[in-house]
């Protein structure tokens, strides 16, 4: 059990759990839109997500003289190795994207999207209100995993019903970030990092988390009941993910790192669609 816990901890610190969750999300939308994606799409997404999260962690610890958080100690201790791996991943992703896409419309649109995301993140980080940081990350996360399935889907499969799952998934990602922000707020304040939880009273953010959780749970149940049968497995997946988040966050006796791990692993649930 100790070995398994250590392995999960390392997966979390290296953001590999987030990577697998992002690939599961892409599979969710590939099935939803009846798109066809080969393994290179998942490999490129994995490299992109890992690079973004690792870069963010490395920037966080670069100017810290010391830190109390174990995950930040981990990145600070291994920052030289991680910078090298980040360079390899970035170059490998760029070469792989050109080899797979070619200099065609998909790659050009993807580059434009990436530049828009980077520009928006910089502007929001400097001038945006507190909640916009987490909300923008949630939006960009979902846009990133749905981008290729949408580009590869036939127009007949992109219906208003299927598009309803985009804001639902964004709401789930936003809920995840709010919960993590709350769990990490003491640690972030000690390290001098800004988060939405540091700008809101405890009772207010707890209330917001409850409202978003119940809203997402009831919306998923409503989608299961009201939408055509094809969409029921997707509604169930979102419902399960929301329930795992809610039950984990409000479960007493769990350490912060255990709650973080379970909530990140909740994004692996869409892989069950592979069995259907």
Each residue of 54-101: pLDDT tens digit? 888 887 777 665 656 777 777 788 888 989 998 999 898 888 878 877
3-state secondary structure the chain: CHHHHHHHHHHHHCCHHHHHHHHHHHHHHHHHCCCCCCHHHHHHHHHHHHHHHHHHHHHHHHCCCCCCCHHHHHHHHCHHHHHHHHHHHHHHHHHHHHHHHCCCHHHHHHHHHHHHHHHHHHHHHHHCCHHHHHHHHHHHHHHHHHHHHHHHCCHHHCCHHHHCHHHHHHHHHHHHHHHHHHHCHHHHHHHCCCCHHHHCCHHHHHHHHHHHHHHHHHHHHHHHHHCCHHHHHHHHHHHHHHHHHHHHHCCCCCCHHHHHHHHHHHHHHHHHHHHC
- Res 124: pLDDT: 58
The predicted model scores a pTM of 0.88
Q: Tens digit of pLDDT for each residue in 153-194?
A: 898 989 999 999 999 999 999 999 889 888 877 666 665 555
Checking if the pLDDT of 123 tops 70, the result is no
CA dist., res. 89 & res. 66, Å (int): 27
Question: Where is mean pLDDT largest: 9-13, 48-52, 243-247?
Answer: 243-247
What does each C-alpha distance from 237 to 31, 59, 240, 273 come to in angstroms?
Answer: 12, 34, 5, 8
Instruction: Answer yes or no: are the C-beta atoms of 137 and 170 closer than 8 Å.
Output: no
CB-based contact 217:243 (threshold 8 Å): yes
Mean pLDDT for the stretch of residues 28-35: 94
Rounded CA-CA distance 115/124 in Å is 14
| Segment 203-259, tens digit of pLDDT | 888 898 999 999 999 999 999 999 999 999 999 999 999 999 999 999 888 888 888
């Amino acid at each position: 059990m100790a070995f398994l816990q250590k392995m999960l901890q390392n997966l979390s610190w290296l953001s590999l759990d987030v990577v697998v969750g992002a690939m599961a999300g892409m599979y969710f939308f590939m099935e939803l839109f009846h798109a066809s994606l080969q393994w290179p799409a998942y490999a490129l997404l994995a490299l992109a997500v890992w690079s973004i999260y690792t870069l963010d962690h490395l920037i966080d610890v670069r100017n810290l003289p010391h830190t109390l958080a174990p995950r930040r100690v981990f990145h600070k201790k291994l920052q030289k190795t991680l910078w090298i791996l980040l360079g390899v991943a970035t170059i490998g992703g760029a070469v792989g994207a050109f080899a797979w896409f070619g200099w065609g419309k998909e790659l050009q649109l993807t580059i434009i999207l990436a530049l828009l995301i980077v520009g928006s993140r910089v502007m929001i980080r400097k001038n945006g209100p507190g909640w916009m940081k987490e909300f923008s990350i949630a939006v960009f996360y979902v846009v990133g995993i749905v981008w290729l399935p949408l580009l590869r889907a036939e127009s007949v499969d992109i219906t208003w019903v299927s598009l309803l799952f985009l804001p639902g998934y964004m709401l789930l990602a936003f809920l995840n970030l709010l919960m993590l922000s709350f769990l990490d707020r003491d640690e972030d304040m000690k390290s001098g990092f800004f988060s939405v939880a540091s700008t809101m009273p405890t009772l207010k953010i707890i209330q917001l988390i409850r409202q978003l959780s119940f809203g997402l749970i009831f919306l998923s149940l409503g989608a299961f009941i009201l939408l055509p049968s094809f969409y029921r497995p997707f509604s169930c997946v979102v419902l399960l993910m929301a329930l795992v988040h809610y039950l984990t966050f409000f479960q007493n006796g769990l350490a912060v790192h255990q709650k973080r791990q379970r909530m990140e692993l909740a994004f692996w649930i869409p892989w069950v669609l592979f069995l259907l």
